[in-house]
Every structure is written in C-alpha cells, then in structure tokens.
Amino acid sequence: MNLTIKKEQQTIKLLRDMQETIKCAKEIRSGHLYAVFMGIVSLEEYNQILSFFKNTGLIEITPSLLIRWIKKEVSASDASRELAMVK
C-alpha cells in the first residue's frame, strides 16, 4: 500500500475517532480529550483538528475549554461531504 494512502487513512480514522469520542461524551474537557489522543497527535495537530471541528459546526469550545458536541445528526450525504473536506 502506498505510504501516502496509508497516512490519509490513518488521518481519517483519527478524525472519526475524535469526533465519535466528543459526540458520545456530549461534553468533555479539552485536556481530558487530549490525554486520550496525545500519543497519536501533537498538541499543534490536536488544536488544528479542534479548529476544523469548530469551523465546520460540529463543536463549540467554551472559554473554560469545555468541548461540546453541537452538530445534529446528519444524513449520509452530509457526512460524505464533510469527510471529503478532510481529503
């Protein structure tokens, strides 16, 4: 398998895992979420992912760094569009 394709697949899996973690928790402290993923992403990458989620309307981040899931359930076509933005 091409190294670039494998890296893309790993990135998509990471985004899905982070998204699912936030969605299931409904609210989670940023530090707690980072603790879960810190062996996988750097702090800079983590903050970029949160910015992406925030800019796409999936989450809100309070001044006290509480991350809240705010996106309503989406259709399969909406999910495909959001995933295509990652690629």
Does residue 24 fall inside a structural domain?
yes
List the domain range (segments joined by +) for residue 74.
Answer: 19-81
Does residue 76 fall inside a structural domain?
yes
Chain-centre distance of CA 38, in angstroms? 13
Does residue 87 fall inside a structural domain?
no
Does residue 14 fall inside a structural domain?
no
The pLDDT score that the predictor gives to residue 78 is 66
Does residue 43 fall inside a structural domain?
yes
What pTM was estimated for this model as a whole? 0.75
Does residue 10 fall inside a structural domain?
no
pLDDT band at 7 (very low <50, low <70, confident <90, very high): confident
Q: Report the interhelical angle of 3-25 vs 76-86 (nearest 10°).
A: 130
| Total number of domains constituting the chain | 1
Q: Identify whether the C-beta of residue 65 lies closer than 8 Å to the C-beta of residue 32.
A: no
Rounded CA-CA distance 37/33 in Å is 7
Does residue 28 fall inside a structural domain?
yes
Does residue 7 fall inside a structural domain?
no
Give 26-85 pLDDT, tens digit per residue. 999 999 999 999 999 999 999 999 999 999 999 999 999 999 999 876 556 666 676 666
Work out the widest C-alpha separation in the chain, in whole angstroms: 43
Gap between the terminal Cα atoms of the chain: 18
